[in-house]
A = this chain, B = another copy of it.
Amino acid sequence: MAIIGLDIGGTKILGALFNKHGEIIDKEKNPSLGEEGFDIFLNQIHKTLDKLIKRCGKKIYGIGIGVPGIVNKKGKVLFTPNLPIKDFDMAKHLELKYDIPVKIGNDVNLGTFGEYSKLGSRYNNVIGLFPGTGLGGGIVINGKLYIGQGFAGELGHIVVQKDGLECGCGNRGCLESYASKKGIITYILNEVNKGRQCTLKEDALSGVLKSSKIKKACENKDEVVMEALEQFVEYLGMGVGIIMNIFNPDIILLGGGIIEAFGDRFLKDIKEHAKAYAMPGIYKNTKIIQSQLGDDAVIYGGYYIIKKEWFD
């Protein structure tokens, strides 16, 4: 038997074939081509699945898919900010096409579930926070992915500064406005507008900032970038503290490009800030760890939601 995990991202589609031991036995990666419209984008998904299914040769029990957007409980993709799909019943479409059960969820939810499941069953409650362009969250409660009525886990939209910075969601002062690449860009552009120099000015103006470039600018002692990162760390740490007060989970998982680029030292600073905002007893019993699966988190999540449905 085999299970497919699929990570549909803004720039690439990553698929993987898992065997019954949960090992990846094949992978297939293709560009999303979202900018070329719905038909071509959908074709890229088909192409990725076609190749994996053809090369597999065995019965496939299910396809678990993560999408960077809002997905309802039935696997209908309601909205994605960076891909040409809206109100598309993707689960139904793919089930009809391949005659294989399909489950679809938000990518950060699935990534958190993948990380959680790989940690083993020692833990019950794990919250994931993944700062990237925005700030996504995932919630695992009693070993199950928690999505409420479908859309829970919008942890980037906890308001931490009433009447603060404008957020993409239309509100002000959301955690995401500070603890994300968007927050770093906003900080840099504000300082540049005041006349300060910054080596990442052009990147910030383009709206695309690579984690590796942020790291390099820090190593080169770019003051504006260092300040922007300090703000990022402070707010992310505050977010971690707030989430501890709400969930008192076993673990808070931090992932995404910036976290991976900066690693342990960063984690230490985030913990310091979290400690300042969490209730003391709660802080003590919650672990803060870095995600282990990197770019594979979502495909593992896809694998595990199918596996738990079929075999638990």
Contacts and interface: CB of A to CB of B under 8 A. Distances in A.
Contact of A247 (B78, B142, B152, B235): B152
Given A276-B171, A282-B154, A162 B247 contact: no
Contacts of A141: 141-142, 146
Interface in A51-73: 70
A246 B160 contact: no
Nearest to A147: B248
A206 interface: no
Interface stretch (A22-30, A114-122, A237-245): A237-245
A245 B239 CA distance: 14
Interface residues of A, number: 43
Nearest to A125: B148
Interface of A: 70, 78, 125, 137, 141-142, 144, 146-155, 157-162, 164, 169, 171, 235, 238, 241-242, 245-250, 276-277, 279, 281-282, 285-286
Given A125-B149, A154-B248, A169-B279, 6 more contacts: A141-B141, A149-B250, A149-B286, A150-B248, A150-B285, A152-B246
15 contacts: A125-B148, A125-B149, A137-B246, A141-B142, A148-B249, A149-B286, A150-B285, A151-B279, A154-B245, A155-B245, A157-B242, A159-B238, A159-B241, A161-B161, A162-B235
